[in-house]
Amino acid sequence: MMRAAPRALARAAFAVGLALAATLAIVAASGAPPLETLAVMAQGGFGSEAAWLRTLSSFAPLLLCGAALCVTFAANLWNIGVEGQITMGALGCLWFLRAVSPAGPLPPGLAVTLSLLAAMAGGAAWALLSGVLRTHGRVHEIFSGLGLNFVAMGVSLWLILGPWKRPGMASLSGTAPLDPALWLPALGGRPMSLVGPILAVLAFAGVVWLLTRTFFGLTLSAVRQNSLAAERLGLAPKIRILTAMGIGGALAGLAGGVLIAGLYHRLIPSVSGNYGYTAILAVLLASGSLPAVPLACLFFAALAVGSIQLPLTLSLDSSLAGVIQGVLVLTLFAARGLWPAASRRKP
Amino acid sequence: MSFGYMEALFASVLFAAAPLIVASLGETVAERAGVINLSLDGTLLFSAMAAFTVARVTGNPWLGLLAGAGAGAAVAAVLVLFGQALRVSELAVGFVLTLFCRELAYFLGHAQARRPGPDLGVLHIPGLADLPFLGKGVFHQSPVVLLSLLAVAGVWFFLMRTKTGLLVRAVGESPEAVKARGFSVARVRFWCCLAGGAMAGCAGGFYSLAVKPGWGHPQGCEGAGWIALAIVIFGGWKPARVALGALFFAAIQVAGIALQDALPGLSGTLFQIAPFPVMIITLLVVNLRRSAAFREAARRVPILGRLMPRSAGGAPGAIVGALDRGF
């Protein structure tokens, strides 16, 4: 145990160093000036108050999805369907907001709150579908989750081009914008709402409490470590799996709700914006440490937001952010494989 | 519906299926040896980019195809290095590689986007091309169709009829027994994973050099890798049935395109996602057939027994273990 700390430090230093070297090599291979590219990304992610706000509004859905994944990973589930759960949450939120117009019987504040609950319900339903396919249909959640991601994307495209299309014209730019009364409130006249990031931090704190301080968290880790023994002990792994899926789906759905009510204010084709996949990378980067998850999410959010500048200033593809994220996680895997922690958990 | 229309439909299903067949056969080889290469979707895109880039730079699409195979093998080598040498979960590495390869393909391929480039063209075999049905479908058609059919025969012969193939299957079924006989499990897995990756790389080249020629963001083959992974399960890890599964999914895609003209009111995107619910339903049916409840029902209603899978398990033992261990 005493030697675990320097080992972890060595691992982190190795991972960061190797990731930096690999990133610079990839950028150089594409013919761009490596250091200038990184500077543009840092500037775009953290360079100004507006940049910080953009980073925070990416951070909110990312952390919500990270929280969702912490719950499902704790139950040993490969919840790859987060993207679809975000989309379904967004659809639930927008469906509710469209049903209650600002002139309706509900005060706008209550309507927005309820719409976030509708978002959670939408995400949870989509995740439970995947969970039931796993527990009762023996379909591995990797395949059901992925398939349902594509189905959710299809449903949202169908709504944008069909039933929810803009009056007069259907366009891939999205549905008609919501009435500003139904937006999440922006604090102090800022262009973006900070309610989403605050909700995300609160939700993540709730997940930490759930996993480390409750009986449910304890049983989840029992199910993860030995599902057969857990079943013999009467812990009903199927119910635990479904509960974990449901909670995870609700959190991912909330991410969709925050994106609709707090950022886009309308439905766009790729509303889930790869947050579900990026969050998997962030949680893998945190490698089982709950406090590291928000940090990884913040860093990945800044990378993603910073990379938006790349096509404009250096005419590079903005997918560099994803490349760096992948390199980081891979080098961390390598470092972990080379220097296993003293008390290493079974992979 | 004239005979000519049916012939054209048959030819286009074979054409659309070619990359799926080759990718899922490659995955079959890897999984038979007990390695799950979850990076298939990213591998396809990355090798599609590599194949198109090399074809454009050299002007030779066959060199491009070779580069695609090399790119696929390289990704598989990374997977097997992490999984076997560093003992990281292969599911985790494969998934990260999927995302990483996709983004890397878009980043490095940025310069090639929406540029015209060479493609594999049409292969015309005189004589055979005049055969009814098969002539237009196989022998006067993009060469990828003939290559994919040769791959089915080759992989079937290798896995089922050669001594090395037997060793591969044994490694997937019970690595301990193979170890006890003095063979190296790690070496077999390394080469099978590499071969599978190279085949997936070829499939990526098939996309960017024939089926959906060119490179862009999106390329058009996104999601195909995931379908290929499902096809392996659908085909029960048996080469011929895997190929039939690929034809089945390609038929759904082609039917989607054909119906798009007939039913213009429905959005084309709905047909593009059609393979995915079908994938889930087929996995559901395939897996339920193997469940204890179904066995019980088949005992009571004998006619259901005909639907039972003939072999006991289906999945190679090592794969079942890996999926159950999960993350």
Q: By percentage, how much of chain A surpasses pLDDT 70?
A: 95
Check if A235 contacts B (Cβ < 8 Å). no
Output A307 or B310, whichever has higher pLDDT.
A307
Arithmetic mean of pLDDT, B63-86: 95
Is B103's pLDDT higher than 50?
Answer: yes
Judging by beta carbons within 10 Å of its beta carbon (0-12, 13-18, 19+), is residue A201 exposed, middle or buried? middle
Is A289's pLDDT higher than 60?
Answer: yes
* A203-212 per-position pLDDT tens digit: 999 999 999 9
Per CB-CB distance under 8 Å, the chain B contacts of A326 are 96-97, 99-101, 103-104
How far is the C-alpha of A133 from the C-alpha of A151, rounded, in Å?
Answer: 15
Q: Which stretches does DSSP call E strand in B50-133?
A: 123-124
Nearest CA in chain B to A31: B108
Is A230's pLDDT higher than 80?
Answer: no
CA distances from A200 to A62, A196, A221, A290, B264 (A): 9, 6, 24, 14, 42
* A105-127 per-position pLDDT tens digit: 888 889 999 999 999 999 999 99
Output A242 or A170, whichever has higher pLDDT.
A242
Arithmetic mean of pLDDT, B75-88: 92
Arithmetic mean of pLDDT, B302-323: 66
Nearest to B82 among A150, A154, A334 (CB): A334
Q: What pLDDT is attached to residue B313?
A: 47
Strand partners, B123: B141
Pick the range with the lowest mean pLDDT from A278-282, A329-333, B11-15, B303-307. Answer: B303-307
Nearest to A284 among B92, B108, B280 (CB): B92
What is the average pLDDT score of chain B? 87
Output B109 or B130, whichever has higher pLDDT.
B109
Interface test with B, best of A11, A142, A238, A277 (most B CBs within 10 A): A142
* B18-36 per-position pLDDT tens digit: 999 999 999 999 999 999 9
Per CB-CB distance under 8 Å, the chain A contacts of B107 are 26, 30, 316-317, 319-320, 322-323
Judging by beta carbons within 10 Å of its beta carbon (0-12, 13-18, 19+), is residue B255 exposed, middle or buried? middle
Segment 8-67 of chain A within 8 Å of chain B by CB? 26, 29-31
Q: What pLDDT is attached to residue A346?
A: 44
Is A234's pLDDT higher than 90?
Answer: no
Per CB-CB distance under 8 Å, the chain B contacts of A316 are 107, 110
Tokens of A255: 């991410």
pLDDT band for position B168 (50/70/90)? very high
Q: What pLDDT is attached to residue A163?
A: 85
CA distance B188 to chain A (A): 21
Nearest CA in chain B to A23: B104
How far is the C-alpha of A81 from the C-alpha of B95, rounded, in Å?
Answer: 13
Check if A303 contacts B (Cβ < 8 Å). no
**Contact: A337, B284; criterion CB under 8 Å:** no
Is A347's pLDDT higher than 60?
Answer: no
pTM here is 0.91
- What is the DSSP secondary-structure string of A266-309? S--TTTTTTHHHHHHHHHHHHTT-TTHHHHHHHHHHHHHHHHTH
Q: What pLDDT is attached to residue A5?
A: 63
Q: What pLDDT is attached to residue B217?
A: 83
**Complex ipTM:** 0.90
Output A299 or B217, whichever has higher pLDDT.
A299
pLDDT band for position B305 (50/70/90)? low
CA distance A153 to chain B (A): 8
Check if A183 contacts B (Cβ < 8 Å). no
Per CB-CB distance under 8 Å, the chain B contacts of A25 are none
Check if A268 contacts B (Cβ < 8 Å). no
Q: What pLDDT is attached to residue B264?
A: 60
Per CB-CB distance under 8 Å, the chain A contacts of B38 are 142
Per CB-CB distance under 8 Å, the chain A contacts of B226 are 143, 146-147
How far is the C-alpha of B61 from the C-alpha of B66, rounded, in Å?
Answer: 9
Are A27 and A34 a contacting pair, CB within 8 Å? yes
Check if A188 contacts B (Cβ < 8 Å). no
Nearest to B267 among A138, A162, A317 (CB): A162
Q: What pLDDT is attached to residue B5?
A: 80
**Contact: A29, B108; criterion CB under 8 Å:** yes
How far is the C-alpha of B43 from the C-alpha of B50, rounded, in Å?
Answer: 10
Task: Please count the other Cβ atoms lying within 10 Å of the Cβ belonging to residue A6.
Answer: 10
pLDDT band for position A345 (50/70/90)? very low
Q: What pLDDT is attached to residue B257?
A: 75
How far is the C-alpha of A304 from the C-alpha of A322, rounded, in Å?
Answer: 8
**Contact: B273, A151; criterion CB under 8 Å:** yes
Q: What pLDDT is attached to residue B99?
A: 95
Q: What pLDDT is attached to residue A4?
A: 55
Nearest to B280 among A139, A326, A333 (CB): A139
Per CB-CB distance under 8 Å, the chain B contacts of A30 are 107-108, 110-111
pLDDT band for position B266 (50/70/90)? low
Nearest CA in chain B to A269: B269
How far is the C-alpha of B161 from the C-alpha of B154, rounded, in Å?
Answer: 10
pLDDT band for position A1 (50/70/90)? very low
Distance linking the first and last C-alpha atoms of chain B: 50
Check if A280 contacts B (Cβ < 8 Å). yes
What is the average pLDDT score of chain A? 87
Segment 101-160 of chain A within 8 Å of chain B by CB? 133, 137-140, 142-144, 146-148, 150-151, 153-154, 157-158
Q: What pLDDT is attached to residue A344?
A: 46
**Contact: B107, A317; criterion CB under 8 Å:** yes
Q: By percentage, how much of chain A surpasses pLDDT 90?
A: 47
Is B215's pLDDT higher than 90?
Answer: yes
